[in-house]
Amino acid sequence: MRIEGQSSNVEDRRGQSFGGRGLVGGGIGTVVLVVVGLMFGIDPRVILGMAETAQTVQESRSPQAQGPAKAPTDPEGQFVSGVLLDTEKTWNALFQQLGRKYVEPKVAIFEGRTRTACGTGQSAMGPFYCPLDQSVYIDLAFYRALQERFKAPGDFAQAYVIAHEVGHHVQNQLGIMEKTQALRQRMGTAQSNALSVRLELQADCFAGVWAHHAGNRKLLEAGDVEEAMRAAAAIGDDNIQRRTQGTIVPESFTHGSSEQRTRWFMTGMKSGQITACNTFDGA
């Protein structure tokens, strides 16, 4: 994939010290984080069933909490920045068509762990989106795991990761995330998981919508779509469960099967329209 320019919304936190507390209730963290680290996360408070105190939330919003922000200067960081810039072009235009203003998300690149308005973000959680500060968080070590452990190499596989998390931001902007979270609080585990799957598949579809427009801007190269498809399939719930526990339990899916994830990505890519991504009527 070619990139053209850099977003001003990327903060490079790598190399900064972090002395904050871990997530409250960390006793269950070991098991949960291993599983979540193999997926794309959404709001760590929901995934882990934990929350930081109001004091920590306030600290996370303070510029002094992590030191001065800086833009990435290395090729990996600048690639993230370039992808984010292109998602901004896509979603600004599509929101304008809806008569709405798109509030651009922030992306924080970190190592190990970092403060967020959703609590302490950790590398083991994988890339995730925090709706409270409208930011995507990513430790670029995840890309090495995607390539080496899940056999999904390529720069467009990496771009898909960013676009998926930005898809959650789009959901947040459209009010879809808030409505879904409210519904899940009133549901049993199986129903809540099923709704989570639909939310995640929509983020995949939104990633495909972005890819459609990036292709129109002549940024895609030969093999890019196949790279994204391999990445989407690699982190399907069925593939994750098969690798980690040897059995597949569909009612415990939270992100969707490999088939669902690749299908909805392609649905968005073929259409290029937000309206094509109604995963809530059928996954």
Token code pair at residue 129? 């989106």
pTM of the complete model: 0.84
Per-residue pLDDT of the chain (283 residues), as tens digits, is: 999 999 999 999 998 866 544 333 232 232 333 333 334 444 443 333 333 333 333 344 443 345 566 999 999 999 999 999 999 999 999 999 999 999 999 999 999 999 999 999 999 889 999 999 999 999 999 999 999 988 999 999 999 999 999 999 999 999 999 999 899 889 999 899 999 999 999 999 999 999 999 999 999 999 999 999 999 999 999 998 998 889 899 888 989 999 999 999 999 999 999 999 999 986 6
What angle, 0 to 180 degrees and rounded to 10, lies between the N-to-C axes of helices 237-244 and 29-36?
130
User: Is residue 138 within 8 Å of residue 202, measured between CB atoms?
Assistant: no
Buried b (16+ CB within 10 A) or exposed e, 236-265: bbbbbbeeeeeeeeeeebbbbbbebbbbbb
Q: What is the DSSP letter of 64?
A: G
Q: Strand pairing partners for 108?
A: 11, 137
Distance from C-alpha of 17 to C-alpha of 280, rounded to nearest angstrom: 42
